[in-house]
Structure 1
Amino acid sequence: MLLAVGGAGALLLSGCAQNTEEGASPATDETTAVEVTKVDEIAATLPEKNLSSGTLVVGVNVPYSPNEFKDSSGKIVGFDVDLMNAVAGVLGVTAQYEEADFDRIIPSIQGGTYDVGMSSFTDTREREQTVDFATYFNAGTQWAQQTGGSVDPTDACGLKVAVQTTTIQDQEEVPAKSEACVAAGKPAIQIEKYDSQDDAVNALVLGRVDAMSADSPVTAYAIKQTGDKLEAAGDVFDSAPYGYPVAKGSPLAATLQQAVQHLIDNGQYQTIAENWGVEAGVIEESQINGAVN
């Protein structure tokens, strides 16, 4: 599905979506509109293809609430969407969202199908070997359990733990913990993989797994949306930056970095984050390739 959201010139952005299917919504009923206008000197740094087309083709995987998901009309919304729309407003172009499997977004950027990825990508040194990133947020990993549980993320040997396929939690964090269990002569963690984060949350709510591991804003939002059914298990750990992946060596990385920094400096970035209740992860400086691991 191809969805065009945003536009050139002035944009009014706010987290005002209601997703009845997924139960997702902004963090509060009151949100603040953000008026974004084009900044000519930053827009002039866009690659010629984007200047000519007036668009940024953005690969996205949904749902991953509150960062990117669909409202009841099928429109892609969320914190990431509002921020990307604001970035597009600074650049005077339209953000054109195209859905894809998470693990196909970076290859599609390398192949030229997408200009940029926007799907809560953790900027890692491994990924920096194939794409460049412009960072825009800081997130850690947070586990969740059913309310009243006693799960310890540092000693989850033998437990069933839900993760979304191809995330950092699926590929690195939980497997490393499981290997440590085996090395200590304990049973491995049973890693239950789900194609969508919503499925992972539902599995935990229904008691099909003992715990869930996801990015900290995603886990916090899931806990909020499920009422009193879930709670945090342990503290947030392994904080790392989210970034927009672009083709290796592309000048678009610097363009996006400047646009994000502009929104940080004028306070609109903070407002967008507060609309979605993710202000704990705001950054003060956008970087190109800011991986910490």
Structure 2
Amino acid sequence: MSSDSDTGDRVPRAGLGHRVPDLGAMELLLAVARLGSLGRAARELGISQPAASSRVRAVERQLGVALVNRSPTGSTLTDAGALVTEWARRVVESAEAFDAGARALRTRRDSRLRVAASMTIAEYLLPGWLIVLHGRHPDTAVSLFAGNSADVAERVISGGADLGFVEGTDVPNGLDAAVIAHDRLVVVVAPSHRWARRRKPLSAAELSATAFILREQGSGTRQVLDAALAGHGGLAVPLLELASTTALKGATLSGAGPAVLSELAVADELAARRLVEVPVEGIALERVLRAVWPTGHRPTGPARDLLSLTRRPA
């Protein structure tokens, strides 16, 4: 003779909800036992006496036994009521322990924030947001990973970061996103470079034929530039490939060659004339900056608070 588990015809186990009173009803029974009055129990729990009476009657119908003796002088538990109340006490204590444990988990989660950001955002936008966040949540420890947009996406998808910030043309697969800012790429040279005195804008064909100092493959800057020049012959072999914005600026300032960089990253150098922007025509070099998180898992706790800071009106 085969069992249910042998045949796979297991009878579904009924849930406890229709047989076990809810926590509110259990707390009411405990208050009646402690105070000896349904009215006082109702006041302690912040409900009306009719509501309390209705709740007790509902539990009695649910369990099929009388729980409370009502009289003009007060309310007392029946023998069955005393037994049910003792059971209820254990359940309520377990629920309180569960709630305390859940609060501890939230506290532990809220005590740290792991952020991954592309280089431009990490260097030029994130510090200001983190200063404000620290003012609001001084006990939250923040760790920051800075890399290219592809590395940031991978880190967020793998669970290594609670929130990421990327640049580029599209939202990486496996991530949801929110637009936090827009940026523009600019061609820059040292004042000594021959392009520094150029008045005619660079064409797409000239850009395609030029060996630039560039970020590495996987960076948001490189993605946008590759997409912009895809229909114009593509990018020439780079003069240099460097893994940080600071390194690119240093090489360009030294006169090594022209570079394509975020307008955010070179604002100070352009204002001080340490670098010169060369005008471009025929292609769009705008890009979108995004916050990203795993698909279907909206940021919570400090990550949610940081996301809200990035989306404040300018």
TM-score of the pair, normalised by structure 2: 0.52
The structure 1 residue matched to 2:122, chosen from 68, 75, 81, is 68
Change over 3 Å in CA distance of 1:178–1:249 after alignment to 2: closer
Change (3 A) 1:81 1:110: same
> Per residue, is there more helix in 1 or in 2?
2
Q: CA deviation at 1:249?
A: 1.4
Give the whole-Å Cα distance in 1 for the aligned partners of 2:211 and 2:220: 17
Q: Is the aligned partner of 1:59 residue 2:116?
A: yes
Relative contact order: is structure 1 or structure 2 higher (C-alpha 8 Å, sep ≥ 6)?
1
1:197 aligns with 2:245: yes
- 2:117–2:144 CA contact under 8 A, matched in 1: yes
Structure 2: gaps spanning 5 or more residues: 1-103
Equivalent position to 1:206, from 248, 254, 262: 254
Q: Which runs of 5+ in 1 are unaligned?
A: 1-47, 70-77, 183-187, 266-281, 283-293
Q: Which residue of 2 aligns with 1:22?
A: none
The whole-number CA distance in structure 1 between the counterparts of 2:161 and 2:215 is 23
Contact 2:184–2:263 (Cα < 8 Å) also in 1: yes
Give the counterpart letter for 2:145 in structure 1: E
Counting only pairs closer than 5 Å after superposition, residues 119-158 of structure 1 correspond to structure 2 as: 121-122=166-167, 124-127=169-172, 129-147=173-191, 148-150=196-198, 152=202, 154=204, 155-158=206-209
Contact 1:136 1:260 in 2 (8 A): no
CA shift, 1:139, in A, is 1.0
- The Cα shift of 1:82 comes to 1.4
Question: Does the C-alpha gap of structure 1 residues 175 and 264 become closer, same or farther in structure 2, counting only changes over 3 Å?
Answer: closer
Q: Does 1:240 align with 2:287?
A: yes
Work out the number of aligned pairs and report it: 197
Q: Is the 8 A contact 1:135 1:241 kept in 2?
A: yes
Counterpart selection for 1:117 from 151, 164, 181: 164
2:127 equivalent in structure 1: 81
Inter-CA distance 132–93: structure 2 relative to 1 (3 Å threshold): farther
Could you tell me how far 1:174 is from its partner in structure 2?
4.0
Paired residues of 2:214 and 2:260 also in contact (CA < 8 A): yes
8 Å Cα contact 1:91-1:259 kept in structure 2: no
Evaluate the alpha carbon distance shift between residue 61 and residue 137 of structure 1 in structure 2; reply closer, same or farther with a 3 A threshold: closer
Identical positions, percent: 11
1:101–1:242: structure 2 CA closer, same or farther, 3 Å change rule?
closer
Contact 1:160 1:190 (8 Å CA) reproduced: yes
The one-letter code matched in structure 2 to 1:171 is Q
Code of the residue aligned with 1:230 in structure 2: it is: L
Structure 2 residue identity aligned to 1:136: I
2:274 alignment counterpart = 229
Describe the shift of the 1:198–1:106 C-alpha distance in structure 2 as closer, same or farther (beyond 3 A): same
d(CA) in 1 for partners of 2:207, 2:159: 41
Q: Which has the higher strand share?
A: 1
4+ residue runs over 6 A deviation: none
Contact conserved, 2:169 with 2:220, CA < 8 A, in 1?
Answer: no
Secondary structure (helix, strand or coil) at the match of 1:229 reads coil
Amino acid at match of 1:255: R
After superposition, the C-alpha distances for 1:53-109 in whole angstroms (9 at most, x for unaligned) are 3222112455x4xx534xxxxxxxx53221134246557762512335324222121
Deviation at 1:115, TM superposition (A): 0.5
Quote how far apart the aligned CAs of 1:260 are: 2.9
| Separation (CA, whole Å) in 2 of partners of 1:257 and 1:105 | 17
**Higher Cα Rg: structure 1 or 2?**
2
Cα 1:169–1:108, aligned 2, differ >3 Å: closer, same or farther?
closer
In the alignment, is residue 161 of structure 1 matched against residue 212 of structure 2?
Answer: yes
What is residue 86 of structure 2 aligned with on the other side? Answer: none
